Amino acid sequence: MKRLLPPMPGYCLPRHCPGGSLLVFAVAFWCLAAVSAVSAAEPTLVIERCSLFDPESGRMLPEQTIVCRGKQVVAVTDADEFDKSGGVSGEATRIDGRGKFALPGLIDAHVHVVFVLDLAHVAGDEVLPLYLAAGVTSVRSTGDVPAAATLVARFAATHPEWCPRIFTCSPLLDADPPIHREVGYPITDPAKVPALMDEIAQWNVTTVKIYAQTQRPVGRAIIEESHRRGLFVTGHLIRYSAQDAVADGIDCLEHITSVFDFVIPPEVAGTPGHRGRLDLSNPLCESLVADLAQQKTYVDPTLAVFRNMLLLPDVPEIRDHPDNAHVPQRLREFWPVYLRRTGCPHGGELEDRRRTFARYQELTGKLYRAGVPLLVGTDSPEPHVPPGFSLHQELEMLVESGLPPAAVLRAATLTNATVLGENERLGSITPGKDADIVLLSANPLDNIRNSRTIELVIHSGIVCRPAELLKRVPQD
Ligand SMILES: [Zn+2]
C-alpha cells in the first residue's frame, strides 16, 4: 500500500473563490482582518504589487501583495483590494514588488549534507549558505550517516538566516558489504527488516532509501514495513528491477538510470554505444513508463549529476562552469580526485556519452508527457554539482528535456514539498504556509534561466541577500 500523503491545499484567496464580487470582497476582508489579528509583536513584511507564481495553476498572477508576519505568510491578495482596505496597520518592512516575480522557495529533492563533503574535509554547515543564496530554502537529504546529518539539520534549524531547512534520510540500505561503506547499511535478511524499520522510524527521517545491491525480497520487505510506519520509500535501483519495485509499491525512484537501465531490451544490452542509441519506443520502455504513470510513482531524474560528473566532466564548459567557483577550494580540489576514484567519466568516447545523456533527457521528457510525477534534485555536492546553484542547471536541463517552465517550477516547489510530506507548510506562497519566497527581477516562465535573477530570498520570514550569504562561504 502506498503512503497516503495529505491532500494538496487550495489557496484561500479571493481570486480562487467561486461566486460574485460580494463574496470576493468578503473573503478579502476576512484575509485582511486575519492580518490585523495576528500578534503585533512579530515583524511584518509586505511585498507590494509583485507577480506571483502559483504552482497549482502554473500561472504567474499579476499585481499581488504578499503579507508575512513572523515566519508565516498571512495574506496574499489582489494589490488594489489590499490598498483599498488600508493595508496593514502598524510598522512593517515594505518591499516594492513592481516588475518583480515571486516564486515559492525552491526545494532540492536530492542532496547529501555529509557524504562527499566529509571526504573533502568540508563540514556540512560550511556550504549551507550556497543553497539559500541560490533560492533553495529546503533540501531533502537522500543518504547520509543519520547522526551526522541530524546534527547538520539541527544546526541549520538554529540559523535560518543563512541555512536552508534540511530533511533527513535513512542510510543507504544495501547488501553486505555496502557499496558506499561510509553511508551504507547492510541488510540482507528480510526477517530482520521489521526491527531495522522500528529503529529507523525513531530517527525522524522523511525518506527511506533502498540502494543499488538490494535484492527483491529485502526491497519488498523494506517497502511494506516502511509504509506500515508511514515512511516514504525511494530507491536507487540496480539489482532490484524498477518493474518489480513499482509492482511492490515503491514511492519514488532516484536518478533517471533507475528507469533507463530497465528499459534496455536484452538483445541490445552490452552492444557498443547501446545506451546512446536506445529506441525508447521499445515495448519494455512503453510498459514501464505506463506502470510508473499508473502507480503515480515519483521519479527524480537528477540530470545534473549525470551530465556534470558521470558523463561529461571533461567538457570545459561543465568542468569550469562559473557556478563551481562558489564552492570552497577544498571541495573544488577534491572533485577531480573523486572523479578518478570513481572511474568517471563512464560510457566510452565523448560522442557516445553525449548521445547517452541525450537519451536520458529524452526519457525524462517521455515520463513527463506520460504523466509520471517528476521531482527536481541534483545530487549536490558530487563533482561539478555545486550546492544550490546546480538546481538552476537542473531546471534548465528539464526544460531542454521538453517540460514547460511552469511544470519544472511546480515540481521544484509543490511536488518536492509533497514528497517531504510538507505540502501544507511549504511549496507555495499561501496564507498559513511558511514564508519562503524567492524574489526575481525577470519572469522565469518566459525563460527558465531567469530563475537565476534573484534579488532577495525570504526564508521563514527572514530577508536574506545573496551577496551577503556568499560571503559566509569559506574560500579555502
Ligand atoms: Zn545521491
Q: Each residue of 60-82: pLDDT tens digit? A: 999 999 999 999 999 999 999 99
Adjacent-strand bridge partners of 457: 438, 464
* pLDDT at 270 exceeding the cut of 90: no
Provide, rounded to the nearest whole percent, the portion of the chain with pLDDT above 70.
Answer: 92
Lowest mean pLDDT among 4-18, 90-104, 190-204, 433-447: 4-18
**Cα 387 to middle of ligand 1, angstroms:** 13
**Cα 228 to middle of ligand 1, angstroms:** 25
Torsion of CA 285, 291, 297, 303, to 10 degrees: 10
**Cα 86 to middle of ligand 1, angstroms:** 50
Could you read off the pLDDT of 229-238 as tens digits, one per residue? 999 999 999 9
At 90 the pLDDT is 84
Q: Rounded distance, CA 318 to CA 401, Å?
A: 18
**Cα 466 to middle of ligand 1, angstroms:** 26
Could you read off the pLDDT of 315-334 as tens digits, one per residue? 999 999 999 999 999 999 99
**Cα 254 to middle of ligand 1, angstroms:** 8
At 19 the pLDDT is 34
Pairing state between β 101-104 and 44-54: parallel
Could you read off the pLDDT of 456-465 as tens digits, one per residue? 999 999 999 9
pLDDT confidence of 40, banded at 50, 70, 90? low
Q: List Cβ<8 Å contacts ≥24 apart for 11-15.
A: 11/54, 11/56, 11/76, 11/428, 11/430, 12/430, 12/431, 12/432, 13/76, 13/77, 13/430, 13/431, 14/77, 14/78, 14/81, 15/61, 15/78
Choose between 5 and 240: higher pLDDT.
240
* pLDDT at 10 exceeding the cut of 60: no
Nearest CA to 44 out of 11, 64, 71 is that of 71
At 449 the pLDDT is 98
* pLDDT at 28 exceeding the cut of 60: no
At 221 the pLDDT is 98
**Cα 230 to middle of ligand 1, angstroms:** 23
Angle in degrees, CA 351, 356, 359, rounded to 5: 130
At 379 the pLDDT is 98
At 214 the pLDDT is 97
**Cα 211 to middle of ligand 1, angstroms:** 10
At 238 the pLDDT is 96
**Cα 95 to middle of ligand 1, angstroms:** 38
**Cα 154 to middle of ligand 1, angstroms:** 21
Q: Rounded distance, CA 97 to CA 181, Å?
A: 49
Question: Mean of the per-residue pLDDT values for the chain?
Answer: 92
Domain ranges within the chain, ordered by starting residue: 106-427
Choose between 23 and 406: higher pLDDT.
406
Its pTM surpasses 0.75: yes
**Cα 265 to middle of ligand 1, angstroms:** 27
At 27 the pLDDT is 39
> What is the average pLDDT across 366-376?
98
**Cα 13 to middle of ligand 1, angstroms:** 38
* pLDDT at 5 exceeding the cut of 70: no
**Grid coordinates of 50:** 509583485
**Cα 304 to middle of ligand 1, angstroms:** 11
**Cα 236 to middle of ligand 1, angstroms:** 9
* pLDDT at 14 exceeding the cut of 80: no
Question: In the chain, what are the helix, strand and coil shares in percent, each to the nearest 5?
Answer: 40, 20, 40
Overall fold of domain 106-427? TIM Barrel (3.20.20)
